[in-house]
Structure 1
Amino acid sequence: MAKVKTQYVCQNCGYSSPTHFGRCPNCGAWNQMIEEIVAQERPTSSKATPSRRQDGQKHAPELLSEVDLKPEPRVKTKLDELNRVLGGGIVPGSLILIGGDPGIGKSTLLLQVSGQLQDTDEKVLYISGEESASQIKLRASRLGVKGAKLYLYPETNMATIRETITDLDPKYIIIDSVQTMNEPELNSVVGSVSQIREVTAELMKIAKNEQRTIFLVGHVTKDGAIAGPKMLEHMVDTVLYFEGDTNHSYRILRSVKNRFGSTNEIGIFEMKVDGLHEVANPSEIFLEERLAGATGSAVVVSMEGTRPILVEIQALLAPSMFGNAKRTSTGIDHNKVALLMAVLEKRANLMLQNQDAYLKATGGVKLNEPAIDLATALAIASSYRDHEIAPEDCFIGEIGLTGEIRRVNRIEQRLGEAAKLGFKRAFIPKNNMTGLKVPKGLTVIGLTTIGEAIQRVFKKTE
């Protein structure tokens, strides 16, 4: 009998080694090296892995000018927020990956979408590797989903799943989840790097060659990244992250990769007993509990993809009790906070080195664009001076290391959203004032430096 060859594969990055390591030499992850059996390469055999198997079709190179382009219209669901995140609707033949923390609502969202897609007179196949058909039926009853053309299939064997797809011929397929699917011709354990890679490659071939739209549910690690090799996110067409706190009802669906639309687009949902309900105006939610007369609070008009959203940024400064001052932030990059406080100390003469700083973007949203700099800096200055900012003021602008306020994009769209929610004044970079169309009822003030901004904003309160 031939000796079985094994290797150790990192479940985080896919690095392989003939010897075991406690820490992966490639990505540095601890305790991720799992022993797997090395399969022999048989590219032309019937026992070859699915991604290497010949499909019987011979494809010849084509000139770009001779490629027959037949664009199919996007399929719109009844959830406008989901359509927005996908770039206008579902592209036929696309492979969509949805990741999120356990219990956040991934299966609920896809079951609702499945019930809506069957209304297009197309078959929907819901493949679950985690729940039985009766358990899915129980959730569908709670959500009010009726399955005239919705088929439930609790199965994990990819060979059986391929045969079922061929026999049933569904237009839409949901895989819940990709980490539970098993390719029987591989000797590795379920959920390993090689299993996830081969299962995804097979599903991608089904989606592209047979024009079937496939949704994949992906587990996440404790760091929030989708479990498995990074190659998984490269192979699919769209990567969506479902975010939120299980202790609160609001959920954020964020697009981080989309071959057919804008990235960093978000959709806001509210989790209720009968499922997810879309939130048409998220700015009102983020501002509805704003406390009047509070210091350390400033409103920014941030762009999330193509949508302007008004978010309250809160800052709390307190004298440090120890030698090193704390810098803690939620929803705002920690390095950005440290940079802005250094600029305020150097360019605006605020003594912040002995102050503990705590910053937060309310509503659970994560802000990572440059235009939030001005609101963040003024929230810090407001808390430090213990002077409130007028509740009808909002702020847009990027701050440079020399204290200058730099221009931002889509300024008119941002100002229009601020005017719609009743704000009276908007402080923006002076370079954005050229040719600007100001909405009715809104006063726009152009600023050049952070020192000028502090002087103008706190002029009435000092």
Structure 2
Amino acid sequence: MAKTARPIFRCAECGHEVAKWFGRCPECQAWGSIEERGTASVTRVVAGAPTSAARPIGEVDIESARALSTGVSEFDRVLGGGLVPGAVVLLAGEPGVGKSTLLLETAHRWAEHHGRCLYVTGEESAGQVRLRAERTGNLHPEMYLAAESELSALLGQVDAVKPSMLIVDSIQTMSTVSVEGVPGGVTQVRTVASGLIAMAKERGLPVVLVGHVTKDGSVAGPRVLEHLVDVVLQFEGDRHSSLRLLRGIKNRYGAADEVGCFELRDDGIVGVPDPSGLFLTRREKAVEGTCVTVIVEGKRPMLGEVQALVAKTNLPAPRRAVSGLDSARISMALAVLEKRGKVNLFQKDVFTATVGGMRLVEPAADLAVVLAVASAEREIALPADLVVLGEVGLAGEIRRVNGVGKRLQEAARLGFKKALVPPDHGPLPDGVRALVANDLVSALEVLGLNRRRSTKGDDGGKGDDDRRRGGGEGDED
């Protein structure tokens, strides 16, 4: 069997290996990160004895791959029904977002339903974790805590406790003496993760790894870590809001686009099965500059409210402030509103924001943003029972969005009776009347936003009342 030696080149940022030196890593696109790491022997592999006999797919036992519920319904939703024995889950999020609080709640529920759970912390002492668990009411005799930062000691704890679930907080704090490098480095993270994954598959033990994120929000460490694990979850939320969203990025056992909603409280974290009410402002009277839309997070439709404020300014460059929205899309939407809709925003500050810390980046919210700004500039309030759906193009056309029926069913459930939608919207739920608009101009006309509200005395307020009713053009029963 012939052996040849070849050099090894590895990226210091993501751990990607290549056969020759590159100035830029082909995996993570980092410049100057490729380094030579010795040589490797290339050996021709010959066939050997299989570890197990191949069987027809219909005879393969699937009971060992059945998901077990964690006891946290929103967590189970994102996981695809629960934790599969031997599955390795990577949970990433910014510092202070509530990852440890969520996992303490999960460990508590798991211990109640499935038995012993081991929580290994490398960032805090066992006493600190105990204090947080006591504050959030997550104490259970089958929950075991250990403060370890070395892989062999962690595996020793698993052998001693024999848990049915393992939580490691966090993977960046763990290290092993078998390889060089500092904890959190590419080599250490890859080696520790590989050891834990091998242990999980061998014993059928579900493992949850907590991961850090970089300043741009991506999972810290080598990109190969995301390829090795079975599930990658992102836990996110605004520091000034109690709402937390758990997003699925990768999932070998279920949908990878599912979203779970949680509310972070002083006494712990709770799932929010119906989050639409968190993003709406309940008012007895409609207010200009507000518009309601429906977005889809994963498979879940949620109502969101867009607010806009337009104010005159003497500054040479008017301000364009955005909160919870994509600033690039807002800039394009305002340009279309000025050019196609003839709404004058010259020498006027425009502020746009969402309610409840929600982030709207879906194109389906374009029309709601445009109409909220037009409502604020015209000083005409939109109907309180109106919901708006549609993507706005640069030519002013309104494009159809996916899942209109599912979105409007959620709106109808919460009491909305009118919907401004693009053509070819499909069937509507009972109790919802469609206002159809082909382009931005027709949408402004349907809602009476094509002209500024008349001042009192010009027409005795009659024109104001007519425009508030939105005319009647484009209505469909």
TM-score, normalization by structure 1: 0.84
Letter in 2 for 1:447: A
Distance 2:314 2:165 in 1: 59
Q: Secondary structure at the match of 1:364?
A: coil
Cα distance change on mapping 1:367 and 1:60 into 2, 3 Å: farther
**Kept after mapping to 2: 8 A contact 1:121/1:149:** no
Q: Where does 1:56-67 land on structure 2 (aligned, <5 Å)?
A: 59=51, 62=54, 65=57
Q: Which residue of 2 aligns with 1:439?
A: 430
Distance 2:313 2:195 in 1: 57
Q: Which residue of 2 aligns with 1:115?
A: 108
Residue 422 (structure 1) aligned to one of 411, 415, 423:
415
Q: Which residue of 2 aligns with 1:449?
A: 439
Deviation for aligned residue 1:160: 2.2
Residue 213 (structure 1) aligned to one of 179, 192, 206:
206
Deviation for aligned residue 1:60: 6.6
Deviation for aligned residue 1:438: 2.2
Residue 62 (structure 2) aligned to one of 42, 59, 70:
70
Q: Where does 1:237-248 land on structure 2 (aligned, <5 Å)?
A: 237-248=230-241
Residue 458 (structure 1) aligned to one of 441, 448, 454:
448
Q: Secondary structure at the match of 1:163?
A: helix
TM-score, normalization by structure 2: 0.81
Q: Where does 1:180-199 land on structure 2 (aligned, <5 Å)?
A: 180-199=173-192
Q: Which residue of 2 aligns with 1:411?
A: 404
Letter in 2 for 1:438: P
- Deviations 1:288-316 (CA, angstroms, capped at 9, x unpaired): 35684432211001111111111101122
Equivalent residues, number: 436
Deviation for aligned residue 1:410: 1.9
Letter in 1 for 2:435: I
Distance 2:255 2:329 in 1: 24
Distance 1:415 1:234 in 2: 37
Q: Where does 1:69-148 land on structure 2 (aligned, <5 Å)?
A: 69-71=61-63, 72-148=65-141
Is residue 341 of structure 1 aligned with residue 334 of structure 2? yes
Cα distance change on mapping 1:291 and 1:318 into 2, 3 Å: farther
Distance 1:191 1:288 in 2: 44
Deviation for aligned residue 1:455: 0.8
Deviation for aligned residue 1:58: 5.2
Cα distance change on mapping 1:263 and 1:396 into 2, 3 Å: farther
**Kept after mapping to 2: 8 A contact 1:241/1:254:** yes
**Kept after mapping to 1: 8 A contact 2:241/2:356:** no
Distance 1:358 1:147 in 2: 49
**Kept after mapping to 1: 8 A contact 2:241/2:357:** no
Deviation for aligned residue 1:86: 1.9
**Kept after mapping to 1: 8 A contact 2:291/2:307:** yes
Letter in 1 for 2:430: P
Letter in 2 for 1:105: G
Letter in 1 for 2:422: P
**Kept after mapping to 2: 8 A contact 1:415/1:438:** yes
**Kept after mapping to 1: 8 A contact 2:114/2:164:** no
Deviation for aligned residue 1:108: 1.0
Deviation for aligned residue 1:158: 0.8
- Deviations 1:73-106 (CA, angstroms, capped at 9, x unpaired): 3222332222222223223322211122222211
Deviation for aligned residue 1:373: 1.6
Instruction: For structure 1, list consecutive stretches of 5 or more residues without a partner in the other structure.
Output: 1-6, 18-22, 45-55
Distance 2:301 2:444 in 1: 25
**Kept after mapping to 2: 8 A contact 1:415/1:439:** no
**Kept after mapping to 1: 8 A contact 2:231/2:252:** yes
Q: Which range is displaced more, 171-180 or 198-207?
A: 198-207
Q: Which residue of 2 aligns with 1:302?
A: 295
Letter in 2 for 1:346: K
Computing the radius of gyration over CA atoms, which structure comes out larger, 1 or 2?
2
Deviation for aligned residue 1:169: 3.1
Deviation for aligned residue 1:257: 2.6
Residue 268 (structure 1) aligned to one of 252, 255, 261:
261
Q: Which residue of 1 aligns with 2:244?
A: 251
Q: Which range is displaced more, 412-421 or 249-258?
A: 249-258
Cα distance change on mapping 1:428 and 1:175 into 2, 3 Å: same
Distance 2:40 2:413 in 1: 63
Deviation for aligned residue 1:15: 7.2
Instruction: For structure 2, list consecutive stretches of 5 or more residues without a partner in the other structure.
Output: 1-8, 450-466, 471-477
Q: Which range is displaced more, 168-177 or 246-255?
A: 246-255
Cα distance change on mapping 1:445 and 1:61 into 2, 3 Å: farther
Distance 1:425 1:331 in 2: 25
Q: Which range is displaced more, 444-453 or 233-242?
A: 233-242
Distance 1:133 1:57 in 2: 46
Cα distance change on mapping 1:134 and 1:41 into 2, 3 Å: farther
Q: Secondary structure at the match of 2:356?
A: helix
Q: Which range is displaced more, 385-394 or 77-86?
A: 77-86
Cα distance change on mapping 1:57 and 1:100 into 2, 3 Å: farther
